[in-house]
Amino acid sequence: MTRVLSCIQPTGDVHLGNYLGALRNWERGQHDKDVFHGIVDLHALTVTEQPGVVGERTLALGAMLFAIGLDPNVATVFVQSHVPEHAQLGWVMECTISYGELSRMTQFKDKTSKREGQFISAGLFSYPALQAADIILYDTDEVPVGDDQRQHVEITRDAAIRFNHRFGETFVVPDAVIPAAGARVMDLQDPTSKMSKSGDTDSGCVMMLDDPKAIMKKFKRAVTDSDTGPDAVRYDVAAKPGVSSLLDILAAVTDRTPQQAAEGYSQYGKLKVDTGEAVVAMLEPIQSRYDELMSDPAELTRLLQIGADRAREVASATLRRAYDAIGLLPS
């Protein structure tokens, strides 16, 4: 079965755009391929300076991944730091990737320019080597990534090929694949930008854990336009970004096309309320499973342990192969 790896950094709370755009497809796709999902807490260390924060977010993200329906007995959901082989192969990858290659990473340039005057860790620079280890450890065939991560998968391929060339055929060379199309979810206050928490206010961003009242308020205040008339509610992204964005969300939640979702509507008010209510209804069971898990840390730990055990099984074999190929002295 095709092995797929996706990872997510525990850097913040999950919002509706993350869910409808990507995470829902993780849940829906878990039976089709052999999927591994890492919560990459070690990657978050590149920009972490306070105790306690990463662990808390890792736990919350773990609870969210199970709450949206990832089944620990089907998908391998694991925390990166629970699998020490990541750091171990990460070092081997640092020695397989060149300084020049790392210097060409556009994400490093972006991130450092945003951190002017702040501490810039060596980890921020060498991070693609750790990411290469994340991928290679699982004999990964496919890595679904957006454009911002293509360069990192490319460097991973180069590293795998270089290692195989130096030390003999050891690693599977992964392919970057385009993720299953998720819904287009735009900011409710600025429907020409993707939904994200980094907007000026959070009123355009629906968080997975927002209570129903907050969700309804955000939808009722969603930006639309001043058209009136019987065909004001129609899907036209260029001319009517606000209305189209509501239709995108309603369509995604009710598994229809935006055109189908538009049928029968003539008033923006009703469209907003119905979309808000559909989102509330979709999130209700997710939120209650999330709350249940967060109030039962022992159960949550047990679920993450299932993933860690499975991940270690695969990762330790790969690391062993790599050490043997290099000819490190067996312990």
Residue whose C-beta lies closest to ligand TRP: 7
| 82 is a site residue for ligand TRP (CB under 6 A) | no
Q: Are 85 and 319 in contact (CB under 8 A)?
A: yes
Which H helix or E strand runs over 36?
A: strand 34-39
Q: Which string of b and e fits 90-106 if b means at least 16 CB within 10 Å?
A: bebbbebbeeebbeebe
Would you say 7 or 249 has its CB closer to ligand TRP? 7
329 Cα distance to chain centroid: 38
d(CA 237, CA 253): 18
Contacts of 271 (CB under 8 A, 6+ apart): 233, 243, 246, 247, 250, 265
The count of residues interacting with ligand TRP (CB under 6 A) is 13
Tell which one of 4, 89, 135, 205 touches ligand TRP (CB under 6 A): 135
Minimum CB separation of residue 237 from ligand TRP in Å reads 26
Point out the catalytic residue in the list 33, 197, 213, 240: 197
| 149 is a site residue for ligand TRP (CB under 6 A) | yes
Helices (H), the chain: 16-18, 24-28, 41-44, 53-67, 85-94, 99-103, 106-114, 122-136, 150-167, 212-220, 241-253, 258-262, 268-294, 297-326
Tell which one of 3, 4, 5, 96 touches ligand TRP (CB under 6 A): 5
Tell which one of 25, 131, 244, 245 touches ligand TRP (CB under 6 A): 131
Any idea how long the chain is? Answer: 331
| 224 is a site residue for ligand TRP (CB under 6 A) | no
114 belongs to the catalytic site: no
| 126 is a site residue for ligand TRP (CB under 6 A) | no
| Interface region with ligand TRP, contact rule CB under 6 A, candidates 94-102, 143-151, 214-222, 275-283 | 143-151
- Give the amino acid at 158: D
Would you say 93 or 303 has its CB closer to ligand TRP? 93
- Binding residues for ligand TRP, per CB under 6 A? 5-7, 9, 40, 43, 131, 134-135, 143, 145, 149, 152
Residues noted as catalytic: 111, 194, 197
